[in-house]
Structure 1
Amino acid sequence: MSDSKAALACSEDLWQLLNEVNLCHGLSYDELEVLQDTADSRLDSLVRQYGGQQALEQFQHDCRCMAKSMQTSCQTLRLATLNPEERGRIWDAFQYQMAYLQACLQRSFEQPMKP
């Protein structure tokens, strides 16, 4: 398989996974762990390829912290007695945070590099 076809296959796998998660099918604990390992592996390869960029290592650390913070926040909120409207507001707020991160990625990656 050519590099471009391999990249496309990986992209299709990622989009399929994201679609499944976004359709509320969720991931099992084992699947989530595999996803985290895969994400770490891909970022680790970039760190190695680009000479141990501290910004990449910090990004990886921050992603782990953000995931943990999000999970802890959700667990805390789940302990509260929430009506459906409150659950909807919380879900909406968290989804907006994820959309913001996606928009930042898109915007940052597509902007021309400054010399």
Structure 2
Amino acid sequence: MMEAMMTEILFSELTDDGKVRNLVGHERGEDARGKWMLDHLDCDEEAIDVVIPNELLTLSSSFFQGMFAQSVKKLGKDGFLTHYRFQASAIVMQQVAEGIRDSLMKRSALG
């Protein structure tokens, strides 16, 4: 019997085995969104494990929004956190929470 494959997003693929400690920049986040085809994963019935290595110190709000803002808006905060199950340090989880909050903020045309 075949066991279903658990889908994982492994941030270690972005951190060069711990050499990169900070992920910043909206465009870099958008690149990561494309790398893992999140538009497709948003519709997946299975939950997605997002594994962030402890060596990562900073997941900037701009990076988070580039990667996940569309997903947060589509799924809502609770749906997003149920669908994308983050495994990360307490500090990075705080940054994830900030990224979710920023993704849901209404911004005026003037910024």
TM-score by length of 1: 0.28
Higher relative contact order (CA 8 A, sep 6+): 2
Q: Comparing both structures, which one devotes a greater share of its residues to helix?
A: 1
TM-score by length of 2: 0.29
